[in-house]
Amino acid sequence: MSSSRIALSARTLLICTALMSGMTAPVYAQTAVDTTKQVPATRADTQLSFAPLVKQTAGAVVNVYAAREVQQRSPFSGDPFFEQFFGGKFNGPPRIQSSLGSGVIVDPTGIVVTNNHVIRDAETVKIALSDGREFESRVLLKDESTDLAILKIDANEQFPVLQLADSDKVEVGDLVLAIGNPFGVGQTVTSGIVSAQARTRVGISDFDFFIQTDAAINPGNSGGALIGMDGKLVGINTAIFSRSGGSVGIGFAIPSNMVRAVVDTAKQGGDTFQRPYIGATFQNVTSDVAEGLGMKQPYGALVTSVVKDGPAEKGGLLVGDVVLSVDDFRIENFDGLGYRLSTAGIGKTVKLGVLSRSKEKVISLVLEKPRPDDPSSKAVIQGKNPLSGAQVITLTPSSATRLRLSGDTTGVAVEKIFPDTPAARIGLQPGDIVRKVNGRDITTVADLTAVMSSSPVLWRFEFERGGAVIRQIIR
């Protein structure tokens, strides 16, 4: 007897037994089957090749070469004794520091998408095509929060492109190809499947919402293409999870819908990608919170604060509400909410499914443009002090929300930390709030810059991080 008949008989026996015993027959959930996707059915199917797809798409995947001049620092640099006698002249001559990554042409005029970390701080960026030609390029947009950068090839010709897919239609198990330049060995193609969708809490960038794949991704693949079997770009390869530095089958790609939003911003003349301003802050729904709210599962984004007269308040969002969906897309956590709002775009109106006071409702939310910061409320701390290299800002509801702080938080917060600076070495992080310096209360950037211009023997700091107070004494 065939295996299908055995399975059918077993199922029939189970139902009959249940009916005879007075039990309710089990209900088998019916799921929609996409008939356009098939698994190999014959030996001939297993001998099919990806070669036609590679020939169709590989020309739009490029190599990105970034270079900058850096000063070689002596191990004695910064030492007061040696600087007293040599005046800092013992540093070596400048050298060229280069990095290598990949990129994808998404517009025939030569617009290229890559990772921001590939071209970060670069003074020159060159693009090499798969046919060996090289071009100078200029940076249209750099965005650290999404880890995406948009380049423009300096040439007046038409280039091969990859069309952007709808990444919301990508499913776990779909076949994908990763194309890039791993380890600088030249253009390489690897195959695999989509291992997971909407992967969050990865810690790669501020936007934790990735496509996970087992297609081999290695250093140099960053910025390369993850393509589907229709030849469209489903993601930009960004990072790997590895303890050895090599691919172990866990790679992450930025979804094409996020790429589309950033590319559109660059085409409209923007030099950075802006998140919509909604005037509210959120946190993840834990098991305890879900139980307290009567939810069967812990998912969604819990509203922790609402800014007066902001879009959220105008839309009817309340503290304690849980956002369950955006335009019918289920929201698993805070990162998922940020992704959905950002890909919807500034100026759009979205429908939020909300659990409010034990009742579910739908509200409309207008996604506004972030309110500009006052230039005088921002500064980069410089000089010979422990906070040198920290970019700080006097908090407003808009900047507080951007830094994932409560919208009603006041004070001076760290907005950015520049690498290889004293602020980076003492462990300062974006989002830290500077409360006191040497006993003086800090409420504005002017307060902080004034006190940091002094030269005390000891520095006493009081920071706030995640609601906890951190005190440091630095000589």
- 346 CB burial (10 A radius; 0-12, 13-18, 19+): middle
Q: Is 320 left (phi over 0), alpha (psi -120 to 50) or beta?
A: left
Select from 77, 75, 64 the least CA-distant residue to 113: 64
- CA dist 298 and 293 (Å) reads 10
- CA dist 472 and 102 (Å) reads 42
CA distances for 410 relative to 398, 401, 432, 449, 461, angstroms: 11, 11, 12, 17, 17
Select from 218, 222, 111 the least CA-distant residue to 164: 111
User: CA-based angle 256:262:266, to the nearest 5?
Assistant: 135
- 168 CB burial (10 A radius; 0-12, 13-18, 19+): middle
CB atoms within 10 A of CB 109: 14
Q: Is 422 left (phi over 0), alpha (psi -120 to 50) or beta?
A: alpha
With a CB cutoff of 8 Å and minimum separation 6, the contacts of 124 are 66, 67, 68, 136
The DSSP symbol for 217 reads -
Select from 170, 144, 180 the least CA-distant residue to 232: 170
CA distances for 59 relative to 119, 243, 276, angstroms: 21, 32, 35
CA distances for 457 relative to 250, 390, 421, 440, angstroms: 49, 21, 20, 16
Residue 345, helix vs strand vs coil: coil
What does DSSP say about strands 301-306 and 322-326: parallel, antiparallel, or unpaired? antiparallel
Q: Which residues pair with 302 in a beta bridge?
A: 283, 322
- CA dist 40 and 47 (Å) reads 10
Residue 470, helix vs strand vs coil: strand
Select from 113, 165, 177 the least CA-distant residue to 139: 113
Q: Enumerate the active-site residues.
A: 117, 147, 222
Q: Which helix (H) or strand (E) holds 377?
A: none
**What b/e sequence results for 137-150 when a residue is b if at least 16 CB atoms lie within 10 Å of its CB, and e otherwise?**
bebbbbbbbbbbbb
